[in-house]
Structure 1
Amino acid sequence: MSISIAHVPTGSASRYLQQLAKHWSHKMAVVVMPEEATIDFPNGARLTMAAAAQMLDVVLTVPADGDVARMRDVVASHLDRFAFREAPLQFDWRDG
């Protein structure tokens, strides 16, 4: 299991979190509230997001046989689509 954590500065964290969760809810298991979301990917990866006033906290868990770099890119690129007015968002990915 590999855990990646990013703190993404944005004043629209809750909005982006909800948009991404809704977008992926058609294909994946999603639990979403205004300030928190969990998304389970078919490959066994899990994305957890928490919104604060000026920050979106992102935790990405990828199975040992998964492609961590690719999953980080998938998450970041999808969030950037919803944040097009301020994209690219700054992801400070680090191992958790």
Structure 2
Amino acid sequence: MSVSVARVPTASASRYLQQLAKHWSHKMEVSFSAEEARIAFPNGSVLELRADSATLDVVLTVPDDGPDDGVVARMREVVASHLDRFAFREAPLTFDWRDGDWRDGA
């Protein structure tokens, strides 16, 4: 399992979190509030989001499918590109992806 974390600076974190959750709720298992969201993808990946007044914390968990298949990079791009669509006034957002977990001090 691979865990990717990004802290995205934006004053509109809650709005983007909710827009993304609603957008994907038609095709995926989604639960969300104004501050937190969890989105389960068909490929077994899970996206968790947490919003505060200045940042959107993003945690993407991707099951291991092999060392060179590029699933993690593709999933990171899917998440970033979708959030950028909702943040078109301030896009591109800054995704400083790294391995880890927000509970580790992201």
Q: What is residue 54 of structure 1 aligned with on the other side?
A: 54
In structure 1, stretches of 5+ residues that fail to align are none
Q: Which amino acid aligns with 1:56?
A: L
3-state SS of paired residue (1:11): coil
Q: TM-score, normalised to structure 1's length?
A: 0.99
Q: Does 2:79 match 1:75? A: yes
Aligned mates of 2:31, 2:88 — CA distance in 1: 24
Instruction: Decide which structure has the larger Cα Rg and report it.
Output: 2
Question: Within 5 A, what are the aligned runs for 1:12-91?
Answer: 12-65=12-65, 67-91=71-95
Output the aligned Cα RMSD: 0.7
Percent identity, please: 74
Q: Secondary structure at the match of 2:19?
A: helix
More strand, by proportion = 1
TM-score (norm 2): 0.89
**2:98 is the alignment partner of 1:94:** yes
Alignment partners' CA distance in 2, 1:23 and 1:12: 17
Unaligned runs of at least 5 residues, structure 2: 101-106
